[in-house]
Structure 1
């Protein structure tokens, strides 16, 4: 692993509140505060809507309610404020847990990358040392044979 990858892992393995905040904001932006309800008849729709309104659901004017073949009624309603807050809290908790997990995974990857880099460095040093020792032995043999030939 090269130094660029190790630096990237170091960055990912370091908790960064700004990164977490941006991730949480993206997750919150993806949250949908509304829900679709489908009814099979007008009377079921009116009864169902009355029940939903008493639970705190409100009409969602941003989305079109539809008549779905064969004669189903789809209505979009905003979830009650308490439900939205509870769900958003869960979204935020999941986002934080996901980010913290990614930081921990990056720490593990960084650890393994550092171990591998250190091992490769030691291997290169050992290889270099072995090559130098081999060259010394070869030079000693040359010297010995040259002396024998000169005498």
Structure 2
């Protein structure tokens, strides 16, 4: 997907809205202590268009599989019936991280938060700092009827 513009994601964006998901009020109260966010308007419409165009032009779309553990996958059309593209790009992940990291300060550094890091990390006095996004970017494409 080298068809992205050289300046892709290189300029700041305004109007981004961050919402923390309140699991306690939703369908998953067992996750009430965990953190998940929706970050709306992270990309401009032209950036979305460029990313979609680059992804749609890629030739290696495959049926999306379900991870079943121990590095194995299985086709489960009743759960995931679509095509998936996996694209490794540390550069695009870095640029995305530069856009979103300021919106998640309460989880950017985790200190004594065993509900997020696990008890062992808290007992050892470990401090976890978010430093990047996973460079393995995934795109799902749904066709008519999927």
For Structure 1 versus Structure 2, the TM-score category normalised by the shorter chain is under 0.3
- TM-score normalised by L of structure 1: 0.17
Q: Which protein has greater RCO, CA pairs closer than 8 Å, 6+ apart?
A: 1
Considering only CA atoms, is the larger Rg found in Structure 1 or Structure 2?
1
Greater per-residue strand proportion = 2
- TM-score normalised by L of structure 2: 0.18
Greater per-residue helix proportion = 1
